[in-house]
Amino acid sequence: MPPVRRRSAVLQPVQGVKLGDEVTKQIRDAVMSGAYQSGEKLAIEKLAGELGVSTMPVREALLALASEGILEISPRRGFRVAMLARRDIEDIFYVHAFLAGVLAERAARVIDEATLKRLRRIREKVDALRGSGDSDDRRQKIEFLNYSFHRTVNGLVDAPRLHWFLDAASKYVPRHMYETLDGWTQLTVDDHPHIIEALERRDESASRTRTEEHVLHAGKLVIDNLEAHGFFDNSPAAPALPEPESTGIW
């Protein structure tokens, strides 16, 4: 069995933002990026030192994350990363895929040529960056373009509740995490043209299916990455779901 490649937690001093929210976000991102394994203890004082804050907002953040099910808390053992199984992360992406698919389906009804032109420009920029060598700056630009692509599609739809639920599902996978995944750039290059094509045809069903498949493909990359970093090593075994070839369950 190859050695586990642990990801380092990237916690930055918190400044100029709402303290509690930012502390919660950074710790959540670190957990969901695979910086800590399932069952690993999180020390309040250590986290406070890394974040440059007092222990109070850290304790509040850990309580908030415990309420989300990301952490577990016990009177004598303190806070530990919840025993999340592969299936738990897969479920997050199934929810994300469903919501993004519904938004894409509705976007196909109302999309105009100006928006299609913008999506094509985004795709062209990604294509241009694909051959520009590998660097952190390149990966960050591609991730931003991917975010802009989906934000453009979702922004066409007036559905505040769907957007709220999508944001809630998305926060469990940090945006910066995608930059580090092998295969992420190729996934963006391969999948976005199919989504654009479906939107160009105003094909609601295909727009939904292509978007769902894209999110599930991304989910597989994320889960494989967490597995490589030992995230699930202490978790109870759960049967893996089939490869995301189709989303007919909806």
* % the chain with pLDDT above 90: 49
Q: Is 74 helix (H, G, I), strand (E, B) or coil?
A: strand
CB atoms within 10 A of CB 38: 21
CA distance 49 to 23: 12
Among 118-127, 138-147, 171-180, the least confident range: 171-180
Q: Which CATH class is domain 86-228?
A: mainly alpha
Predicted TM-score of the model (pTM): 0.77
Residue 47: pLDDT above 70? yes
- pLDDT for residue 207: 98
Max CA pair span of the chain: 60
Q: What angle do CA 34, 72, 82 make, to 5 degrees?
A: 35
* % the chain with pLDDT above 70: 82
CA distance 3 to 215: 29
Highest mean pLDDT among 97-106, 127-136, 182-191: 97-106
How much is the average pLDDT of 87-113?
95
* 234: confidence class by pLDDT, cuts 50, 70, 90: low
- pLDDT for residue 154: 96
- pLDDT tens for 5-40 read 445 555 656 554 578 888 998 898 888 877 888 889
CA 86 to chain centre: 15
Give the list of residues 6+ apart from residue 79 with CB closer than 8 angstroms, or none: 41, 42, 44, 62, 66, 71, 72, 73
- pLDDT tens for 107-131 read 999 999 999 999 999 999 988 887 6
CA distance 47 to 97: 33
Sheet containing strand 78-81, edge to edge, reads 41-42, 78-81, 71-74
Domain boundaries, the chain: 19-81, 86-228
Distance between start and end Cα atoms, the chain: 37
CATH number of 19-81: 1.10.10.10
Residue 237: pLDDT above 60? no
